[in-house]
Chains A and B, each alone.
Chain A
Amino acid sequence: MLVCAKCSRLNPEGANTCSACGASLAEAKYRACPTCGTINSIRDMFCFRCLTLLPPADDQIDTANIGDSAADIDLDPLAALTHALPEAQLDFTVPPGSSRPPHTAPTGISGIATAISQISGPSHAQPSISRVAKILIYAGVILAALIPLLAHIRPSGATSARESVYGLLQSLEDIPQGAAVLVSFDYGPAYAAELDSLATLILQHLAEHSNKVLIMSTHPLGMANAERLFSTLDLPMEYGNNYLYLGYLPGEESGLRLLLGEFGSVFIYDFFKQQSLDTYPLAREIESLSQVQRVIVLSEDAVTIQRWIEQVQSPTHLSMDALVSASAEPYLTPYYLSRQLSSLTGGLPAALELQAVQKGTGLDLGFSLGLVGLTLLVALITVVTTINDFSKRHKQGR
């Protein structure tokens, strides 16, 4: 349904002029979702509210009026995908006065198969997701989330871990006993569940090896994360002597560039007690990055690690370990392959493997089973959908 740019009247797809004011619909910039009625940009591929596949922009619409230029549309991959859609599958027939197409609930086993197929099947033929399909998806996700909590299966024997885990272990072992380490907590609470395990293992290792730990963050909530984590750990470390909260460093690249100078000129007070850094023995002993043996950055994204490499690692040639979220790990692979990063480890799976390898025990398979469950669910949806789609076509062919 095209929205008239002049009077906002909803007009059917393919109309040239508005049925209310007669204005040309070539200038229409918005269209209504045929499933839920939400107004989307004419360039959108999916409804932002219900994710229904929207029909492609009509060829008659003057694309020069949509964005800054027609070239913008050609550069938009989603718009390109929309144009590539087969026209035969884009028949949205919305009855007058109704915002939803007629829908009959399927029953029995075929009903479930149809419901599953609606998740990944031709959503433009039956745009709404049935209640059964939604329940199946939510149940699958909840099950995958509950398995790690309920199933604590820990087989005996050593675990084989991914290469990056052994790389991190080796990198940690290379830190001399009692050396100073700068740890940056560059992640917010949204990634705490994923990165806390890695952070805990790192801090425990550093405490066991009597390393001096300076803690900072370039994330506004990073220091609160560090404080929360330290409060839950019972580490044999004394504040001011073995570890020190330097604080939050704003300014992204600019802030990190300043870190090449003395810590005292960048962080005036510590984060914990708001006292001058000079009052702490550790700050008097470790005054700048040149006295630090290793930088460990825990980050939720790849850009932060890139900043650290550009502004700190490259000029100082310090060894740097990156512990990142699983989604950020692939982006940083080139830096690891070129040895700008001593180690690159990502995600909770790596933390579980690290824990198992460090302690020489078997892996807690609860999380693995949850992930297997989720993968199987997606695979099941795909298989059922494909079979259902195939049988429908076969029947139509006959």
Chain B
Amino acid sequence: MRKTIPIAAAVICGIVIIADYLVQVPWLHTAAARLLEGAVVLAGFALVLGILNLLAFNFRHIRDHTPGRWQSWIILISLPITVLIGTTFPGSGAFTWVYTYVVTPLMTALGALLLFYAVTVAVRLLPLRNGAAIILFASCLVFMILWIPGISSVSPFIAAVRNWLYALPVGASMRGLLLGAAIGAVVASLRILSSLEQPYTGITEKH
């Protein structure tokens, strides 16, 4: 019974949602909409749970005198203040100020490092003398050049090369990836609907 009820609920929910995509029946649409609303509420609650987990994690850091616990203090002080400002003064400039001058610069700086890491890894892979590494590095260089703003003005040939790359090699490989992912999704869905896979119970039956 401990397993049967969750499996039955998952299978029924899955079939109702899929059926709503395929046939136009009013009561089925209403049932699917109620289920989807439930999923949205759960997703929203997951965010709240994430915040609570963050608070608990940092409380533990402070309680256990972990090195670097001053960072936990910063989170525990700044989080309630930001939440308070956002909820009690909606639409005020204070929240926008925090977001504009604290959150955005920090996150942008971290995001900008991605380019540096990507180039470093591409360069680091070169000594492998491996075909895949050379292709990765060469494509890194080619796309960096093709990405330069206004480079189409230099020569119409460059624009033609970029269009060809996007339409043929990139387009074809992405179509292949999407088809592969779609087939994988169909198989995974069928396994979950037929209860061969039960990710919600943590049990996977071997077949």
Q: In whole Å, how far is A263's beta carbon from the nearest beta carbon of chain B?
A: 14
Contact B104 A189 (CB under 8 A): yes
Q: In the complex, which residue of chain B has the Cβ closest to the Cβ of A164?
A: B166
Tell me if A257 is interfacial: C-beta within 8 Å of chain B: yes
Interface positions of A from 350 to 385, Cβ below 8 Å from B: 350, 352-353, 356, 363, 365, 367-368, 371-372, 374-375, 378-379, 381-382, 385
Q: In the complex, which residue of chain A has the Cβ closest to the Cβ of B138?
A: A382
List the 4 closest A-B pairs by CB distance, nearest first: A190-B111, A251-B40, A254-B39, A189-B107
Q: In whole Å, how far is A311's beta carbon from the nearest beta carbon of chain B?
A: 10
Q: In whole Å, how far is A231's beta carbon from the nearest beta carbon of chain B?
A: 5
Residue among B104, B107, B116, B137 facing the most chain A CB atoms (10 A cut-off): B104
Interface residues of chain B: helix, strand, loop or mixed (majority): helix
B159 CB contacts on chain A under 8 angstroms: 160, 162-163
Tell me if B11 is interfacial: C-beta within 8 Å of chain A: no
A379 to B140, CA, bound (A): 11
A371 to B141, CA, bound (A): 11
Contact A192 B107 (CB under 8 A): yes
Interface positions of B from 146 to 189, Cβ below 8 Å from A: 147-153, 159, 162-163, 166-167, 170-171, 174-175, 177-178
Contact B130 A81 (CB under 8 A): yes
Contact A382 B126 (CB under 8 A): yes
**If A251-B36, A258-B40, A378-B119 touch, does A124 touch B99 (CB 8 Å cutoff)?**
no
Tell me if B128 is interfacial: C-beta within 8 Å of chain A: yes
B108 CB contacts on chain A under 8 angstroms: 189-190, 192-193
Tell me if A120 is interfacial: C-beta within 8 Å of chain B: yes
A319 to B124, CA, bound (A): 43
A121 to B127, CA, bound (A): 6
Q: In whole Å, how far is B38's beta carbon from the nearest beta carbon of chain A?
A: 8
B162 CB contacts on chain A under 8 angstroms: 162
A228 to B115, CA, bound (A): 25
Tell which of A331, A337, A374 touches B144, judged by Cβ atoms closer than 8 Å: A374
A255 to B174, CA, bound (A): 26
A220 to B191, CA, bound (A): 31
A162 to B147, CA, bound (A): 10
Tell me if B120 is interfacial: C-beta within 8 Å of chain A: yes
Contact B141 A378 (CB under 8 A): yes
Interface positions of B from 99 to 133, Cβ below 8 Å from A: 99-100, 103-104, 106-108, 110-112, 115-116, 119-124, 126-130, 132-133
Tell me if A188 is interfacial: C-beta within 8 Å of chain B: yes
A374 to B37, CA, bound (A): 48
Q: In the complex, which residue of chain B has the Cβ closest to the Cβ of A269?
A: B90
**If A53-B127, A191-B111, A363-B149 touch, does A250 touch B166 (CB 8 Å cutoff)?**
no
Tell me if B96 is interfacial: C-beta within 8 Å of chain A: yes
Contact A189 B91 (CB under 8 A): no
Contact B40 A162 (CB under 8 A): no
Contact B149 A349 (CB under 8 A): yes
A159 to B96, CA, bound (A): 36
Tell me if B190 is interfacial: C-beta within 8 Å of chain A: no
**If A159-B150, A378-B123 touch, does A85 touch B141 (CB 8 Å cutoff)?**
no
